[in-house]
Structure 1
Amino acid sequence: MDIALIGGHGKVALLAAPLLVEAGHTVHSVIRNPDHTDEVEATGAQAALADIETLDAAGWDELLRGKDAVVWSAGAGGGSPERTRAVDQDAAIASMDAAQRVGATRYVMVSYFGASLDHGVPEDNSFYAYAEAKARADEHLRASELEWTVLGPSGLTLEEPTDRIDLDPAEGGEVSRGNVARVIVAALANPATAGRTLPFNDGETEIAAALDAQD
């Protein structure tokens, strides 16, 4: 597949890109800062420069045209509520709409464990803007005609990946970014993950087997 990896300089994306390339995919890692080009291309991906916060519909169409899949791994990174909404909600939704227009039919969203419009986060909590933005983006994706998968990793760590997870746990825990990267690759390789929301922690089941069990 030819994949647009949105948020290509993020920690998860930098781990996912070489795995996707190794799996035989062509990866276009979308970044805003040209200074990150060398680091991104060292993964085997091709850097694509775009400011997703300001990109218009025509720009999104140009960015995604010819792609088979989109992986969303971008985020405002705890900025202002306005920027969080612009990136995590508005830009994400714009990318979904463009993917439908240009035929990039497969879409994997990296969300977070427990993301929901019923998140229960108070409006005066600093996490509220992010919870709202991610939930609204996820819901837009689920209502689309794309072959979507929403990934719900729990608390992210920098531990070494184990290639093992617990899928659909009763409560959140922790998961290494390396395992999240591996779940991205495995989800793209498994058509049965389309139309599914997959919350997970680090765990005991090999990733591919865990996803196969959802068939």
Structure 2
Amino acid sequence: MASILLIGGHGKIALLAEPLLAAAGHTVDAVIRNSDHAAEVEAAQANPVVADVENMDTATLAELVSGHDVVIWSAGAGGGNPARTYAVDRDAAIRSIDAAQAAGVSRYVMVSYFGAGPGHGVPEDTGFYHYAEAKAAADEHLRSSALDWVILGPSRLTDDSATGHVSVGPSDKSEVPRADVAAVIAAAVDTPALSRMTYEFNGGDIPVAEAVVQATR
């Protein structure tokens, strides 16, 4: 079983993923910025680790990730402030990738979004533009690394109940419950063949574990 460092441990998806990872036998250290969130993280069966990744340099981040088998990036600035969006979603994410390599943590799972990349097509005058630019840069940095990486690209997120199913390939749906994204994260950790791949998905009708395996073929 793996020792996992989940960065962004109090996020909506992270709090849903942590119990799934724990149920699979993994140990999850969940990085949070606010110590007031520790109890919720503990209730989700993860170990809270208070650290401000936005203001940590690569060497300090390497100390944080050292000793883990997998790093999961599920952090985000939350939008609204372009400078902070770049500081967290681009710069801190890139430093965490470099830190994982420096610390010898080979596997890295990045939670991104459907359609992320240099050709994202988001208009510059929209509020989403800075996030799209930040994620494009971080994802490309991960792809160019030597890590055993996985980039997960869910479509529009909802708070609907888990269905346990997602899509493989084109779908007529353009949304997916956060609970199903959490299940995809857990499945990705336990599917070594899903390696150096970007897996974009929507809601669908294929069981999550089966869908993740299909993505490797």
TM-score past 0.5 threshold: yes
Distance in structure 2 (CA, Å) of the matches to 1:170 and 1:17: 28
State whether residues 155 and 172 of structure 1, in contact with CA within 8 Å, keep that contact through their aligned partners in structure 2.
no
Counterpart secondary structure, 2:201 = strand
Q: Which residue of 2 aligns with 1:186?
A: 187
Q: Does 2:11 match 1:2?
A: no
State whether residues 81 and 129 of structure 1, in contact with CA within 8 Å, keep that contact through their aligned partners in structure 2.
yes
Gaps in structure 2 of 5+ consecutive residues: none
Q: Which residue of 2 aligns with 1:163?
A: 164
Q: Which residue of 1 aligns with 2:103?
A: 102
Distance in structure 2 (CA, Å) of the matches to 1:13 and 1:107: 15
Structure 2 counterpart of 1:174, which letter? Answer: E
Structure 1 counterpart of 2:57, which letter? Answer: D
Residue 79 of structure 1 deviates from its aligned partner by 2.8
Q: Percent identity?
A: 57
Residue 122 of structure 1 deviates from its aligned partner by 2.3
- The CA RMSD measured in Å over matched residues stands at 1.1
User: Once superposed, which parts of structure 1, at least 4 consecutive aligned residues long, lie more than 6 Å away?
Assistant: none
Q: Does 2:100 match 1:91?
A: no
Distance in structure 1 (CA, Å) of the matches to 2:192 and 2:200: 17
Counterpart secondary structure, 1:145 = coil
- Structure 1 residues 1-215: aligned runs within 5 Å: 1-169=2-170, 173-214=174-215, 215=217
Residue 40 of structure 1 deviates from its aligned partner by 0.5
State whether residues 18 and 43 of structure 1, in contact with CA within 8 Å, keep that contact through their aligned partners in structure 2.
yes
State whether residues 11 and 177 of structure 1, in contact with CA within 8 Å, keep that contact through their aligned partners in structure 2.
yes
Distance 1:171 1:207, change over 3 A: same
Distance in structure 1 (CA, Å) of the matches to 2:212 and 2:151: 13
Residue 58 of structure 1 deviates from its aligned partner by 2.3
Distance in structure 1 (CA, Å) of the matches to 2:7 and 2:151: 15
Normalised to the residue count of structure 1, the TM-score between the two structures is: 0.97
Counterpart secondary structure, 1:48 = strand
Distance in structure 2 (CA, Å) of the matches to 1:169 and 1:70: 28
State whether residues 117 and 132 of structure 1, in contact with CA within 8 Å, keep that contact through their aligned partners in structure 2.
yes
Deviates more, 1:113-122 or 1:15-24: 113-122
Deviates more, 1:173-182 or 1:120-129: 120-129
State whether residues 113 and 172 of structure 1, in contact with CA within 8 Å, keep that contact through their aligned partners in structure 2.
no
Residue 171 of structure 1 deviates from its aligned partner by 6.8
State whether residues 67 and 104 of structure 1, in contact with CA within 8 Å, keep that contact through their aligned partners in structure 2.
yes
